[in-house]
Amino acid sequence: MKVVVVLAVATILAASQCHGSEYDRFPLEMVSDGYHPGYPPEVWCPSWRVAVEAHNYINWKTVPSECANYVASYIEGDQYDSDSKLVNQQAYFYAKSLKRTMNDVWIFNIDGTALSNVPYYAKHGYGVKPYNATAYDAWVRKGDAPALRQTLKNYHNLLGLDFKIVFLTGRTIDKKAVTEANLKEAGFHTWEKLILKDPVVYNGQSSVAYKTAERKKLEKEGYRIVGNIGDQWSDITGKFPGFRTFKLPNPMYFIA
């Protein structure tokens, strides 16, 4: 009996010590950048990601440095693929439920949606480092971005339902040829329109303003935007968003 009690006490002590030591480390992991709600990174980084995806946390510039490992393992592990799969599946189920008309289109964003830029971000800290337009542009111009595989699957499914596909991207018009070639190389072999940004027309305007204006044009041309899928809230907010919008995960960067 005595032995059991001693063992039990020892176990409790060991457990509390273990717990305590975790929290002894905790102040060292704290930062003063305003993100930290008082939990260790393994708790608050998932909170951060949920808030980011739900558009509660907006206009952030970089991934908090404490969440570098968390974001990297999220992106490279199964969770990102699984999350992307669920979103694309829901988009497909919705598409299947629609009575399609001739001019029904689905809008797809490109970077982070149709094409993956994870190979770039893997070499640039998964969003922890500030955005470098020069380096990112150079990467885009290589034209070897792979498909986001769950989006590619959905793209083929939507084509199978006879929907027209419109790619609406923040890439500028000077990248038209490389974008066309990259899309085809990655398996996106056909589309109704590929809309790139004219930097003169949209100089200084937000992505929301640009994408809204281009969607308005589509509607004027007689298209009916039934679905719209993007990894940024700026892909799917603003006017004429489509009957339903679908937000793919992206905890690496935020575009207004």
Ligand X SMILES: *[C@@H]1O[C@H](CO)[C@@H](O)[C@H](O)[C@H]1NC(C)=O
Positions touching ligand X (CB under 6 A) are 132, 134-135
Q: Which is nearer to ligand X, 14 or 135 (CB)?
A: 135
How many Cα atoms within 13 Å fall on the side-chain side of residue 253?
20
We find the least distance from the C-beta atom of residue 135 to ligand X, in angstroms, to be 4
Q: What is the token pair recorded at 215?
A: 């969607």
We find the least distance from the C-beta atom of residue 34 to ligand X, in angstroms, to be 23
Q: What is the token pair recorded at 157?
A: 């499914």
Dist. CA 133–CA 138, nearest whole Å? 8
Q: Which is nearer to ligand X, 54 or 135 (CB)?
A: 135
Q: Which is nearer to ligand X, 122 or 135 (CB)?
A: 135
Q: Which is nearer to ligand X, 21 or 132 (CB)?
A: 132
Could you count the other beta carbons within 10 Å of the beta carbon of residue 90? 14
Three-state SS string across 62-78, please? CCCHHHHHHHHHHHHCH
CB under 8 Å to 183, separation ≥6 — which residues? 110, 114, 115, 167, 189, 191, 194
We find the least distance from the C-beta atom of residue 203 to ligand X, in angstroms, to be 22
We find the least distance from the C-beta atom of residue 229 to ligand X, in angstroms, to be 30
Q: Answer whether 189's CB lies under 8 Å from 207's CB.
A: no
We find the least distance from the C-beta atom of residue 138 to ligand X, in angstroms, to be 6
Q: Is 79 helix (H, G, I), strand (E, B) or coil?
A: helix
We find the least distance from the C-beta atom of residue 124 to ligand X, in angstroms, to be 9
Q: Which is nearer to ligand X, 56 or 134 (CB)?
A: 134
Q: Which is nearer to ligand X, 16 or 132 (CB)?
A: 132
Could you count the other beta carbons within 10 Å of the beta carbon of residue 70? 20
